[in-house]
Structure 1
Amino acid sequence: MWYYDCPRIYDIAVVTVSRNSRSSRRRTGSVHPLQRLFSYGKQYHRQIWQAAIASTLNKFFDLAPPVLIGTAVDVVVKQQDSAIARFGIKDIFSQFLVLAAITIVVWVLESVFEYIYKRLWRNLSQQIQHDLRLDAYNHLQKLELAYFEERSTGGLMSILSDDINQLERFLDGGANDIIQVSATILIIGTGFFIVAPNIAWMVMIPMPLIVGGSLLFQKLLQPLYAEVREKVSLLNSRLSNNLSGITTIKSFTAEDYESGRVAADSEAYKRSNAAAIKLSAAFIPLVRMLVLAGFTVFLVFGGMAAINGKISVGTYSVLIFISQLLLWPLTRLGDTFDLYQRAMASTNRVMDLLDTPIAIHPGNINLPIEDVRGEIEFKNVTFAYKDRQPIVHKLSLSIPAGKTIAIVGSTGSGKSTLVKLLLRLYEIHLGQITLDGIDIQKLNLHDLRRCIGLVSQDVFLFHGTVAENIAYGTFAASDREIKMAAKVAEAHEFIRRLPQGYETIVGERGQKLSGGQRQRIAIARAILKDPPIIILDEATSAVDNETEAAIQRSLERITVDRTTIAIAHRLSTIRNADCIYVMEQGKFVESGTHEELLDKQTVYANLWKVQSGIKNQQYI
């Protein structure tokens, strides 16, 4: 009955999750990426305001020299009737001395605020990218395995590296450009209307068109750069996958084939960039034409106003100069918006990662490792991988503390899944798993995993020394403890013969070592951890007979007085288990000791017969 009901329940759960995901995407999709970034960086708001104020003051003093030039012209032309003379300084030389002093102050302040804003923005960009990368990585570590199974390593690397770097580049330069252009428009526009209100509108004619065009370009560029980020993610994924599988590529002489696939992904990335570049490149020439129109109109009509005496020659010279300072920086908006849109596309991808809900939450019941007895119980446990039929059906299993049980069965029967459920790498859908009578979903997740030592057939060694890999997870271990663990795992002798002994670099994924050597280092790692529960998941499946015998000797020593779960295809390695469970299609079909199962002459007996080569003989 359960076999037919479970898929229906699971489908309902999947539909519910997908609906929630869609609604979540709708919520985040309606929020601008800059707003999402600003909400994330609440702790940086003070530094952002300080940097923005420094940028604005730098631009204010940067715009002052043209005013000083106009004032100097005014002194030359009007002499005792100049603007400075109105303050009681009639001597012309003294007026120039005052101008010189003001010029020095202005240039010094401009330089000071340039130093301040550059330091603030650059430090801010470094701090945000550092914190964002760590937050994104730490969030990734909390996500369930299913998330990683549905995504490529290269794609995730693209988010953690390239996307965050795009954001850093924008904060390092683009943010300041936007603030300074805005400050330029505000300061000069205000000055124009104060000094020459009758002709100020001539310079301001292009402004609405430029601003409106910028917003339009931004809207058009947004989906193009979103596609660019997606294409570079696919390209990074391809490259990462191929570098990991370089041995397979070489052994199947597939270099040309993989070169073609990388070229296709790179070509797609190039095309998506070309589409964005085609649009963004048109922005600057259009802005230049609008700037030219505004400047030309003011050049003619402003000049006539000066001749007719409506404005002074000094004022006209200032206005004609700062009109260029107002309009020409707008031509850089194309590059700034290009950088901005790339950063916003990357921001969305990083924030989407941070917004991914954590399915496996840490429990709140602490269980110190010294208090763990190791009694494990599965109670009517049911589990299915996403979009699949249940792989475990109402399974119950009781493992007494300190005992060794073995689980055997055909590939895909669900053996390794039980290990993942016990470690809470996935959450069960129905039922309960307890450790010492406590529901593992209520146990502190760190305490749960700390008390379990996993030795898997898929050994992963990190790029580093042999000693570092043995001490992984027990980072405070001494050299003596590391060597003792290696001796128990029967790894000390081969490690001693390595070029640098325990300081030998094993290479990425331990590629400089043989499979058996990697396996023994993994066992030494578990021994050093000294957990009350040991899980052996096909720990000897990929080694030769001699290595298997060595590993088996070390396993017999480390499983004493520990709760041990051994998953194996080779029945000879688990014949001494206290109880052996035979698993098929997510259920236990029989159980007992090795001798009891042979006497039944059913599934286990047939497996033993095949592996031992016994034909038509009494099982012994």
Structure 2
Amino acid sequence: MTTAAQTSFAALLRLMRYARGFRRRIVLASICSVMNKLFDVMPEILIGIAIDVVVRQKASFVAELGIADPKWQLALLGGLTLVVWVFESLFEYLYLILWRNLAQDLQHAMRVDAYEHVQRLDLTYFEDRSTGNLVTILNDDVNQLERFLDGGANNLIQVATTVLAVGAVFFSVSPQIALIAFTPIPLIVVGAFYFQRRAQPLYAEVRERVGSLGARLSANVSGITTIKSFATEDFEAERIRQDSNAYLEANRKAIAISSAFIPVIRMAILAGFVATFLLGGWMTLNGTLHVGAYGVLVFLTQRLLWPLTNLAETVDLYERAMASSRRILDLIETPVSIRNTAGANALDKVDGRIEFRKVDFAYGDDAPVLHDINLTIDAGNTVAFVGQTGSGKSTLIKLLLRFYTAASGEILIDGQRIDSVSLDSLRRRVGFVSQDVFLFQGTIRENIAYGSPDATFEAVRAAAESAEATEFIDRLPQGYDTVVGERGQKLSGGQRQRLSIARALLKNPPVLILDEATSAVDNDTEAAIQRSLQRISHSRTTIVIAHRLSTIVRADCIYVMDKGRIAESGRHTELLAMNGIYAALWAVQTGQAA
């Protein structure tokens, strides 16, 4: 077996292991395919027997079964033909229903499983991968597998059934003709493996190219505002054209291989058919073969060989499906390093005391981002982290939410290590408002209630009031039923930010994290957000990562980060008195220093 064939066979075994819950249905569908093909070849046999009856009459094969009258023999064959066609149609209906429903259910299961697994993957997985390529795997690759199961799997089973069933008839009637008729089959099989070896890397490239094209399209649609603002429509159109041309060329190479395979098969089939036609005819003329048997062999030769012309198309579907299956299963089998530990407890009642003890962290093999972080945040306090970009502020939050795992040290909530509690319960106890606000396609009410789907309208409105969002919501034509557009594009940055705060407040979390929540808003919006923060920070632990220092002057403690370390800490007035990093930042922002 060639390396390409081994690769495809390995992908098929992986797919079968994944689909073990569907095995009963696969077996049942396969049985229906086999039965349909067995009944499908019977009419040719009955035609040959009918010719034998007409020619030999009382000496025919049927007469040997005890029916002497040729008319009754034909009547029997007519009844059998009717029965055969009924059962052939029945099993065709069954295998179509079974295979198509199996294709739908299996592709549904793979898409959902792959997506659910993607959600569990660590954030490090997404750092070097494009969203568009992932979407291509979840959508187009899954559809490729569905196409194969929808028709290709049945074709392979029926070709194998035809070879075995017709071969049994041939060798029982005339072994000599059978050997000649079956001579083209090894050539066809060798050609199929040759095609498979040539096509396998080509289809792998096709899947990669379509993934790259999908990534480019996804990124460009998301960044359409930037494209328009820089007037780079022609430039981006050319890049899409280049990616599309690369996909087109990869497909063209694969098509060239599959198209060349079909004429080779047809010539081999023609040779087998002519050999059976001539040799069988000579044997019949010589009296060594009955005319009815000759008719059966001629008809069955076509039934045996002509379906093999579709083998190239079927193998084409198979190779595309296996290339896609490898990508899907590779995604599903990607290991998850951040998961619930054995015996993880649910984080139930939370006061909100947070501790970092000797925490170090680095992204992959990069230089360390955090060094020996030690701090304690008392329950109910409001603390802030400030510092230059890249100083490690947001990384602290990602570690607290267990988006990443600290290289050393430990993080505790109410005295419990966060890696000893379930991820779900940890993140449900923490409200997170990111500087990069993401709103989902839907209404304002649906976005505020995201994560709290059972919330009443009164609760949604109360959260909006706490975030000072009701003023602009009530001015909208549909109010809370206003559709925000993709990523909230119909709203301003400040409006999206306030909806994000309302969404976090609706959870009523004991710990609230605000990651530069006012970094991209105007002064009036900042003032509104500040007022809401002052109200909502009572009775909960609030962590603020601030770019504008004016928003955190009332914090119980401000930590100044510098190169991954805590350089200063204290209240606003205390830090100003130190005349250090914080005082310098304050002076720059208030215009006291250049």
Answer yes or no: same fold by TM over 0.5.
Answer: yes
- Corresponding position: 1:197 with 2:175: yes
Q: Deviations over 1:571-593 (max 9, x none)?
A: 11000000101001000101110
1:584 aligned to 562, 565, 570, which one? Answer: 562
SS of 1:63's equivalent in the other structure is helix
Partner of 2:3 in structure 1?
none
SS of 1:198's equivalent in the other structure is helix
Partner of 2:383 in structure 1?
405
Task: Report deviation, 1:615.
Answer: 5.2
- Corresponding position: 1:304 with 2:287: no
Partner of 1:366 in structure 2?
345
Q: Distance in 1 between matches of 2:382 and 2:580?
A: 22
Q: Distance in 1 between matches of 2:337 and 2:393?
A: 23
Q: Distance in 2 between matches of 1:602 and 1:493?
A: 41
1:395 aligned to 373, 392, 407, which one? Answer: 373
Partner of 2:547 in structure 1?
569
Partner of 1:420 in structure 2?
398
Q: Distance in 2 between matches of 1:573 and 1:264?
A: 48
Q: Distance in 2 between matches of 1:384 and 1:212?
A: 53
SS of 1:36's equivalent in the other structure is helix
1:468 aligned to 417, 436, 446, which one? Answer: 446
SS of 2:410's equivalent in the other structure is strand
Q: Distance in 2 between matches of 1:262 and 1:614?
A: 50
Q: 1:357 to 1:30 in 2, by over 3 A?
A: farther
Contact kept, 8 Å, 2:103 with 2:149, in 1: the verdict is yes
In the alignment, structure 1 segments of 5+ residues that lack a partner are 1-27
Partner of 1:101 in structure 2?
79
Q: Distance in 1 between matches of 2:55 and 2:229?
A: 86
Q: 1:327 to 1:164 in 2, by over 3 A?
A: same
Q: Distance in 2 between matches of 1:206 and 1:349?
A: 35
Q: Deviations over 1:453-492 (max 9, x none)?
A: 0111111000000000000001110111111111111111
Q: 1:585 to 1:615 in 2, by over 3 A?
A: closer
Q: Distance in 2 between matches of 1:296 and 1:92?
A: 32
Q: Distance in 1 between matches of 2:395 and 2:9?
A: 39
Partner of 1:377 in structure 2?
355
> Aligned letter for 1:492?
T
Q: Distance in 1 between matches of 2:59 and 2:8?
A: 60
SS of 2:559's equivalent in the other structure is strand
The structure 1 segments of at least 4 consecutive aligned residues displaced by more than 6 Å after TM superposition are 28-31
Task: Report deviation, 1:214.
Answer: 0.8
Q: 1:308 to 1:541 in 2, by over 3 A?
A: same
In the alignment, structure 2 segments of 5+ residues that lack a partner are 1-5
Q: 1:237 to 1:615 in 2, by over 3 A?
A: closer
Partner of 1:448 in structure 2?
426
- Corresponding position: 1:596 with 2:594: no
- Corresponding position: 1:531 with 2:519: no
Partner of 1:82 in structure 2?
60
Task: Report deviation, 1:367.
Answer: 3.5
Contact kept, 8 Å, 2:33 with 2:95, in 1: the verdict is yes
1:42 aligned to 20, 33, 38, which one? Answer: 20
Task: Report deviation, 1:494.
Answer: 1.0
SS of 1:405's equivalent in the other structure is strand
1:353 aligned to 331, 339, 350, which one? Answer: 331
Q: Deviations over 1:318-351 (max 9, x none)?
A: 1101101101111111100111100000001011
2:532 aligned to 554, 560, 565, which one? Answer: 554
Query: Number of aligned pairs?
Result: 588
Task: Report deviation, 1:31.
Answer: 6.9
Q: Deviations over 1:409-436 (max 9, x none)?
A: 0011110111111001111111111111
Q: Distance in 2 between matches of 1:305 and 1:140?
A: 66
Q: Distance in 2 between matches of 1:30 and 1:462?
A: 39
Normalised to the residue count of structure 2, the TM-score between the two structures is 0.98
> Aligned letter for 1:464?
G
Q: Deviations over 1:365-410 (max 9, x none)?
A: 32344x1111111111111112311111111111111111110000
Matches within 5 A, 1:271-290: 271-290=249-268
Q: Deviations over 1:508-528 (max 9, x none)?
A: 000000111101101111110
> Aligned letter for 1:489?
A
Partner of 1:21 in structure 2?
none
Q: Deviations over 1:484-505 (max 9, x none)?
A: 1111111112111112111111
Question: Which range moves more in the overlay, 85-94 or 595-604?
Answer: 85-94
SS of 1:187's equivalent in the other structure is helix
Q: Distance in 1 between matches of 2:365 and 2:344?
A: 32
Matches within 5 A, 1:14-163: 32-163=10-141
> Aligned letter for 1:451?
R
- Corresponding position: 1:213 with 2:188: no
Q: Distance in 2 between matches of 1:413 and 1:368?
A: 30
Q: 1:610 to 1:472 in 2, by over 3 A?
A: same
1:541 aligned to 503, 515, 519, which one? Answer: 519
Normalised to the residue count of structure 1, the TM-score between the two structures is 0.93
1:490 aligned to 460, 465, 468, which one? Answer: 468
Cα RMSD of the aligned pairs, angstroms, is: 1.2
Q: Distance in 2 between matches of 1:353 and 1:343?
A: 15
Q: Distance in 1 between matches of 2:565 and 2:166?
A: 78
SS of 1:441's equivalent in the other structure is helix
SS of 2:68's equivalent in the other structure is coil
Contact kept, 8 Å, 2:352 with 2:378, in 1: the verdict is yes
Contact kept, 8 Å, 2:347 with 2:422, in 1: the verdict is no
Contact kept, 8 Å, 2:8 with 2:322, in 1: the verdict is no
Q: Distance in 2 between matches of 1:352 and 1:525?
A: 35
Q: 1:442 to 1:382 in 2, by over 3 A?
A: same
Q: Distance in 2 between matches of 1:44 and 1:180?
A: 20
Q: Distance in 1 between matches of 2:177 and 2:492?
A: 82
> Aligned letter for 1:403?
N
Q: 1:615 to 1:392 in 2, by over 3 A?
A: closer
> Aligned letter for 1:544?
D
SS of 1:238's equivalent in the other structure is helix
Q: Deviations over 1:220-266 (max 9, x none)?
A: 21111001100100000000000000000001000000011001101
Contact kept, 8 Å, 2:347 with 2:426, in 1: the verdict is no
SS of 1:377's equivalent in the other structure is strand
Q: Distance in 1 between matches of 2:180 and 2:371?
A: 79
> Aligned letter for 1:33?
A
Task: Report deviation, 1:87.
Answer: 2.1
Partner of 1:435 in structure 2?
413
Contact kept, 8 Å, 2:213 with 2:247, in 1: the verdict is yes
Q: Distance in 2 between matches of 1:365 and 1:426?
A: 17
Question: Which range moves more in the overlay, 577-586 or 28-37?
Answer: 28-37
Task: Report deviation, 1:197.
Answer: 1.6
Q: Distance in 1 between matches of 2:350 and 2:485?
A: 36
> Aligned letter for 2:346?
L
> Aligned letter for 1:220?
R
Task: Report deviation, 1:611.
Answer: 0.7
